[in-house]
Structure 1
């Protein structure tokens, strides 16, 4: 079948997103779902900084690539052996299609699935190579097993999580990456407990989701840090108790917590900010890093912070989430009014608006923009 999709054919390392505009909408051929695969009509795809990191070369991926990894849609067709979903089901798409059998899957850490990492790194799918080709018959790679900036996507059945049909598509689209990663970093990785203090550095979609997770976990105070005043104001509306610019954060965190926070979430992708987080936590405190720095960046911190002060620096990929467990429970928190992610929605655009959306994201003005990929949102 044919599908219109956003294809990246070269990187633009200009800062901010520049005039080269390497991403464009093309018509591709999409193969039918194989055994264990699902055809999804993509309803809404959310734009994440990880997408921009592929465009600017911070995350090296095989090109050309059909972009998009955070989305929801409706199942159209299933391949042989698919028993998890049926045509008509609403599903969230997950960018780590865990195999269920490797060491990390068996240990309850499906976000670190080795088979998924290999498939995602190759630009293929968990059950086989890419199903996308361009008008010249050349292979186009999948982004993280999803490629959701498209009218249709074929994904592994391990990449879909059924969701209630009454959840608005634009809301649900943020749960497959931003909410899983940010809230998961607080709830799963840090194991934040009621009454513990937390500070979040970086207030994009992931950082704001960490604020939501800290609030839902009963943290106090919840301190938000970002250079953009509008993002700090939004963090306060979402449940942060205090918000500061980076230059004021160190003193404020120390004063509010009596010397240091219990946990800090780094959602910037900056070694300097990781070091700031390590300095901001108390003895025995935890730093959870969810930002993705460019390759080659090096972290230098005082070595005595670990054995000498009992601090921990924890990496968190996809929020250490178990998507089939966490997406439904996080949607329940949305339904209860504790995860008002619609506050992060800063615009809805058609597929052809991809470059404008990238510019808005790179500028820091946008938090979560949603692409109406197949007309189901009416844009």
Structure 2
């Protein structure tokens, strides 16, 4: 294809204000490829924090105008040009970003973006943007299952706290990894209903009266918290025999008490490292039909409606928004 000299990209110029504007077409550096972006999905907490002028992580420094194309990182597209020394990809390959390195650089909220070939996976051309753009999220959640797998033994009955995008992915990954029962907790009835359609055996409100605290009778074998909220984490800790692993961004302290020391002692596990094996596992589950990301997409929008999209996320009227850079 003939490449244009210019393109459109999104830039958050100040808290609460984003512009869809002209920019030069980027050129791939050594080891990079140029991607024509076909679809990119929101990462709700990133979008809400950055658009609202709040740090995503404690101590994070924000400067505006924010980096062009950021915080877009859940993206798929087609390789249209190669930089020097590229050996793994070819023009025409459909690819998906499997990790965000965290280094300051342009993001995928754009019509084109450059990315290092090591940070991309080749896709079957039949996979739609909705089906695979959020692979990076699935990779992140798969890391928590790697943490549990490192302990050995079956998952058994697993509890999942929080049914945002990560929790809905975790429901499916738990089934794909052979959990005997998946019990999901969330206060929002609509998200509990969606979790049931995606494979949860039970979806409950985190109500202590409905599920009294006990690490003995009727307890969970393992659990993953996907909220980062101490009451949600402690709810799982009080009802889990072996391990609670943390996925959500933790901003406050969690109480580990005497009730967690014995019978046997509860393991409270932190997060692991993003890795290609986790991404490849998630992609394999997508191809095998065990992981469905399209149901997480509430709506597809053009970037000219970015502020509206973030507001839908903020009011929990959308789980994820898929942006079409060409709409």
Q: Specify the alignment match of 2:27 in structure 1.
A: 32
Flag structure 1 segments of 5+ consecutive residues without an equivalent: 12-20, 97-115, 125-141
* Residue of structure 2 aligned with 1:235, choices 182, 189, 195: 195
The answer to whether 1:189 aligns with 2:147 is yes
For 1:288 and 1:250, locate their aligned partners in 2 and report how far apart those are by CA, in whole Å.
23
For 1:195 and 1:189, locate their aligned partners in 2 and report how far apart those are by CA, in whole Å.
11
For 1:58 and 1:305, locate their aligned partners in 2 and report how far apart those are by CA, in whole Å.
33
The answer to whether 1:345 aligns with 2:305 is no
For 1:159 and 1:212, locate their aligned partners in 2 and report how far apart those are by CA, in whole Å.
24
TM norm structure 2: 0.86
Q: Specify the alignment match of 1:77 in structure 2.
A: 81
Given that residues 253 and 261 in structure 1 are in contact (C-alpha distance below 8 angstroms), is that contact kept between their aligned partners in structure 2? no
Q: Specify the alignment match of 2:18 in structure 1.
A: 23
Correspondence list, 1:145-164, <5 A: 147-164=107-124
Correspondence list, 1:1-379, <5 A: 1-11=5-15, 21-49=16-44, 50-56=46-52, 57-59=54-56, 60=60, 61-63=62-64, 64-65=66-67, 66-67=69-70, 68-96=72-100, 116-117=101-102, 120=103, 123-124=104-105, 142=106, 147-177=107-137, 179-186=138-145, 188-191=146-149, 194=154, 196-248=156-208, 251=211, 254=214, 258-282=217-241, 285-294=242-251, 297-302=252-257, 305=260, 309-316=264-271, 320-323=273-276, 325-373=277-325, 375=326, 379=327
For 1:204 and 1:197, locate their aligned partners in 2 and report how far apart those are by CA, in whole Å.
20
Report the number of matched residues.
Answer: 312
Q: Deviations over 1:347-367 (max 9, x none)?
A: 111111211111111111211
The structure-2 alpha-carbon separation of the partners of 1:26 and 1:300, relative to structure 1 and needing over 3 Å to count, comes to farther
For 1:342 and 1:249, locate their aligned partners in 2 and report how far apart those are by CA, in whole Å.
34
Given that residues 45 and 173 in structure 1 are in contact (C-alpha distance below 8 angstroms), is that contact kept between their aligned partners in structure 2? yes
Give the structure with the higher percent helix: 1
Given that residues 22 and 55 in structure 1 are in contact (C-alpha distance below 8 angstroms), is that contact kept between their aligned partners in structure 2? yes
Given that residues 75 and 89 in structure 1 are in contact (C-alpha distance below 8 angstroms), is that contact kept between their aligned partners in structure 2? yes
- Deviation of 1:308 (Å): 8.0
- Deviation of 1:174 (Å): 1.6
Q: Deviations over 1:100-140 (max 9, x none)?
A: xxxxxxxxxxxxxxxx45xx2xx13xxxxxxxxxxxxxxxx
Aligned CA RMSD, in angstroms, stands at: 2.5
The structure-2 alpha-carbon separation of the partners of 1:275 and 1:195, relative to structure 1 and needing over 3 Å to count, comes to closer
For 1:249 and 1:322, locate their aligned partners in 2 and report how far apart those are by CA, in whole Å.
40
For 1:54 and 1:275, locate their aligned partners in 2 and report how far apart those are by CA, in whole Å.
28
- Deviation of 1:306 (Å): 5.2
Tell me the secondary structure at the aligned position of residue 44 of structure 1: strand
Tell me the secondary structure at the aligned position of residue 247 of structure 1: coil
The structure-2 alpha-carbon separation of the partners of 1:31 and 1:337, relative to structure 1 and needing over 3 Å to count, comes to closer
